[in-house]
A = this chain, B = another copy of it.
Amino acid sequence: MRIAQVAPLAEAVPPKLYGGTERVVSWLTEELVRQGHEVTLFASGDSETSAVLVPSVPQGLRLAGVRDHTASILVMLNDVLRRAGEFDIIHFHVDLLQFPMFKHLFDKCVTTLHGRLDLPDFHPIYRVFPEMPLVSISDSQRRPLPPVVNWLATIDHGLPASLLPFRVGGGGYLAFLGRIAPEKRPDRAIEIAKRAGVPLKIAAKVDPADREYFERVVKPLLDHPLIEFIGEIGDEKKGEFLGNALALLFPIDWPEPFGLVMIEAMSTGTPVIAWRSGSVPGIIDENVTGFIVESVEEAVRAVEKARGLDRMAVRRRFEARFTAAQMARGYLGAYERLLAAREPRRPVATRHPVAKSMPEAKSISPGGLPSLPLPAPVAGEFIGRPRLIHLAEQGSDR
């Protein structure tokens, strides 16, 4: 398949430092190339890829000091549009500028929404261009969007299976990894550790925007024998930091669209104790890869229970659900369905009315979780441009 991946330009692909989206784009791109697809990556010129790189700007814009990315993204999109005929699928990882420009090409477009969708500022674009095929990164992420949009699938992020290898663990500490920010609730993590009587290591950066929160709320809590603040850690230390922990604490207080760190921990065999919010219920398999809690008390009990979990089972569930290969399989399935919809002669597997596309049907999980019935197929008929299939991602994709 000839696939264009259109990355944000904030960071290189993969990023030199942070950048969740660009990291995921890199993993997906490399896996698609590995599987033999012809992939063209539109990204910043300091990206590194085995795909064909089309450098849209010399360097990732954040580190280049460019604050408003609009012009650079428009120019990149214009380039993509000019070459649209060379691709079977154009996969966007940018938010919304592509909607009007590609409206005549939606039958070969996919947009993965990487951010939270509960802020209404962007909603007009989804309402006016409801036919753009969209991929969510968790089912919960979809909820705030108007019901008219064209959901193609929910596809979990995945990371290369060998990136963060399994560790036997045994470290007697809890881990907190990420940004220090009010919605990440490091204060909750500290309270849980203190009440559980278990050491907590906090590996986190403090952005300028969160400096005041850190000084006012978090710093006073750090002066305790169980709490260790080790600051920011690089990718190379992540495996050790996560893999040696008893459990990762993820006590978030916001609708996290995905939460990569959860699957990073699972990759090393470390279970996750997380608040019921956003993507969490879709990612953690209760009692297998961790525990979903709603109070500090529950979290403290979960710390004790985490000692009893089988770390190899955590890793196995990670391998079954959250590798880059799984993610690529999910996307290839979505691409195939788009291609099938473009060729009316090829049978289209199933159709589902657009307005009710919020999937109730959950995927068949390899670990034996209950699988709900899939939506009944609806005979396809095409009015004008083929309406795309509206189907939650299914079985083999997750």
A residues bordering B, Cβ < 8 Å?
A: 57, 66-72, 74-75, 77-78, 81, 96-97, 99-101, 103, 119-125, 128-129
Question: Could you tell me if B70 and A70 are in contact, using CB atoms closer than 8 angstroms?
Answer: yes
Which chain B residues lie closer than 8 Å to A99 at the CB level?
74
Which chain B residues lie closer than 8 Å to A77 at the CB level?
100
| Residue in chain B with minimal CB distance to A123 | B71
Question: Could you tell me if B121 and A75 are in contact, using CB atoms closer than 8 angstroms?
Answer: no
| Distance A88 CA – B78 CA, assembled complex (angstroms) | 25
Q: Within the complex, what minimum Cβ distance (angstroms) separates A281 from chain B?
A: 29
Q: List 7 A-B contacts (CB under 8 A).
A: A67-B121, A70-B122, A71-B96, A74-B99, A74-B125, A78-B103, A101-B101
- Beyond A97-B97, A100-B81, A101-B101, whether A125 also contacts B75 by CB under 8 A is yes
Which chain B residues lie closer than 8 Å to A122 at the CB level?
68, 70-71
- The majority secondary structure among interface residues of chain A is helix
Which chain B residues lie closer than 8 Å to A101 at the CB level?
100-101
Q: Within the complex, what minimum Cβ distance (angstroms) separates A114 from chain B?
A: 15
Question: Could you tell me if A121 and B74 are in contact, using CB atoms closer than 8 angstroms?
Answer: no
| Distance A97 CA – B100 CA, assembled complex (angstroms) | 10
| Distance A99 CA – B76 CA, assembled complex (angstroms) | 13
- Beyond A66-B121, A122-B68, whether A100 also contacts B128 by CB under 8 A is no
Which chain B residues lie closer than 8 Å to A81 at the CB level?
100
10 other A-B residue contacts (CB within 8 Å) besides A70-B122, A74-B97? A57-B124, A66-B120, A66-B121, A67-B121, A68-B121, A70-B97, A70-B121, A74-B99, A75-B128, A78-B128
Q: What are the 4 tightest A-B residue pairs by CB atom distance, in nearest-first order? A: A71-B125, A68-B121, A71-B124, A71-B122
